[in-house]
């Protein structure tokens, strides 16, 4: 199974919502994860999980890793990067 990973810095417009991101990614078969270091702990959540996204408390300027696992991981990864940067 293919795996893709990329480090990014969050820069989203105020009008973008995590609900949009979660919905946009439902079309991909790959599992997609965001990793963020918070208070010395590494948090990793599935991007397709609305609740998981809420727990990350993403803010502009945060540095995170996007990881996708599956046959369409490259397309899924690029969709996340495009949305969050």
Q: Contact at 8 Å (CB) between 21 and 84? A: yes
Domain count for the chain: 1
CATH number, domain of 45, equals: 3.30.1340.10
SS3 25: helix
- Residue-range definition of the domain harbouring residue 75: 3-84
User: Which residue is it, tokens 């009008």?
Assistant: 15
Separation CA 53–CA 45 (nearest Å): 7
Q: Per-residue pLDDT for 1 more than 90?
A: no
Q: Per-residue pLDDT for 5 more than 80?
A: yes
Report which of residues 29 and 18 the model is more confident about: 29
pLDDT in the model for residue 11: 96
Q: Per-residue pLDDT for 25 more than 80?
A: yes
* 31-79 confidence digits (pLDDT tens): 999 999 988 999 999 988 878 878 888 899 999 999 999 999 999 999 9
């Amino acid at each position: 199974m293919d795996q893709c990973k990329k480090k990014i810095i969050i820069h989203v417009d105020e009008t973008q919502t995590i609900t949009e991101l979660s919905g946009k990614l439902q079309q991909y078969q790959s599992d997609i994860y965001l990793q963020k270091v918070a208070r010395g702990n590494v948090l990793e959540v599935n991007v397709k999980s609305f609740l998981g996204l809420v727990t990350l408390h993403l803010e502009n300027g945060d540095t995170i890793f996007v990881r996708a696992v599956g046959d369409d991981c490259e397309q899924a990864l690029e969709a996340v990067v495009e949305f969050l940067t």
